[in-house]
């Protein structure tokens, strides 16, 4: 009995000593350190980075390599003196002007547009979407085979297609393989640099058999008129270089 009472007394004594041990005491805030409330609400750096990424997905910097850079003010200024098409965009009459202010739209074979044959372009070849990409335009303004770059993007675009809504305008339609990418591009004013002009003769040859369609007939006869003007200019230049005695 004495042994039992002695054990109980020792236990009570040990319990009374424990609260004084530093292990069981609340941690004393370090001078200059975060308070308890701040420590509870602080987020790890990675979580903050992820939150900023998600919150900026729709309004922050766009994915590099997809959307164009801003048009240079000097290009816009030089275009302001030119006549405009029905969309209010400049009409360039001289091929010597290679830096141009252009309205662009976007299309995809997934639209399943009437008359369009899958992923084939107007030349009968496959629409391209890689380092070289397909574009559609009025062939009497940008003849088939015209290659250009869009400011801020690394790709080369080649005109190998046309569209009914493009005839009679200066708009260039940029091909995208999916509806999501097409809608993301939407309609944009861009600065292009024509690196190589296509062939007016090839454009006319391809359009000749399609004149039963109004937009093809419009492009065909406008292309013929341009070819004739070029021939007249070339003849005048030859005559000037070789005057008859």
9 DSSP assignment: H
CB 149 within 8 A of CB 69: no
Distance between CA 66 and CA 57 in Å, rounded?
Answer: 14
Answering whether pTM is above 0.75, one says no
Rounded to an integer, what distance in angstroms lies between the CA atom of residue 162 and that of residue 140? 10
| pLDDT tens digits, 194-233 | 999 999 999 999 999 999 999 999 999 999 999 999 888 7
Higher pLDDT, 17 or 219: 219
**Per the structure block, which two tokens stand in for 206?**
């391809």
Strand 172-175 with 99-107, pairing: parallel
* CATH topology (fold) of 73-198: Barwin-like endoglucanases (2.40.40)
Q: What is the pLDDT of residues 23-67, one digit of tens each?
A: 334 444 434 443 333 333 333 333 343 333 323 333 333 445 689
pLDDT tens-digit map of 128-184: 999 999 999 999 999 999 999 999 999 999 999 999 999 999 999 999 999 999 999
Mean pLDDT of 187-196: 98
Per-domain boundaries in the chain? 73-198
Structure tokens at 86: 């029905």
Which string of DSSP letters, residue by residue, matches 168-233?
Answer: TS--EEEE-SSHHHHHHH-SEEEEEEEEE---HHHHHHHHHTTTTSHHHHHHHHHHHHHHHHHHHH
At 93, the pLDDT band (50, 70, 90 cuts) reads very high
């Amino acid at each position: 009995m004495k042994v039992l009472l002695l054990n109980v007394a020792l236990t009570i004594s040990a319990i009374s000593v424990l609260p004084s041990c530093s292990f069981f005491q609340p941690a004393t805030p370090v001078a200059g350190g975060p308070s308890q409330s701040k420590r509870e609400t602080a987020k790890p750096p990675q979580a903050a980075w992820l939150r900023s990424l998600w919150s900026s997905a729709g309004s922050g910097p766009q994915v590099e390599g997809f959307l164009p850079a801003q048009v240079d003010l000097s290009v816009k200024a030089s275009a302001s003196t030119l006549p405009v098409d029905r969309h209010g965009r400049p009409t360039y009459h001289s091929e010597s002007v290679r830096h141009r202010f252009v309205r662009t739209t976007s299309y995809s074979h997934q639209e399943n547009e009437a008359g369009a044959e899958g992923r084939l372009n107007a030349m009968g070849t496959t629409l391209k979407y890689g380092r070289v990409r397909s574009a559609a335009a009025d062939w009497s303004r940008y003849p088939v085979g015209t290659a250009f770059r869009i400011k801020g993007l690394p790709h080369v675009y080649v005109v190998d297609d046309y569209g009914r809504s493009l005839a009679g305008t200066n708009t260039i339609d940029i091909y995208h393989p999916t509806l999501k990418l097409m809608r993301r591009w939407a309609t944009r004013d861009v600065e292009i640099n024509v690196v190589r002009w296509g062939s007016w003769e090839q454009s006319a040859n391809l359009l000749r058999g399609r004149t039963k369609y109004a937009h093809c007939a419009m492009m065909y006869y406008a292309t013929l008129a341009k070819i004739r003007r070029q021939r007249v200019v070339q003849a005048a230049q030859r005559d000037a270089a070789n005057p008859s005695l």
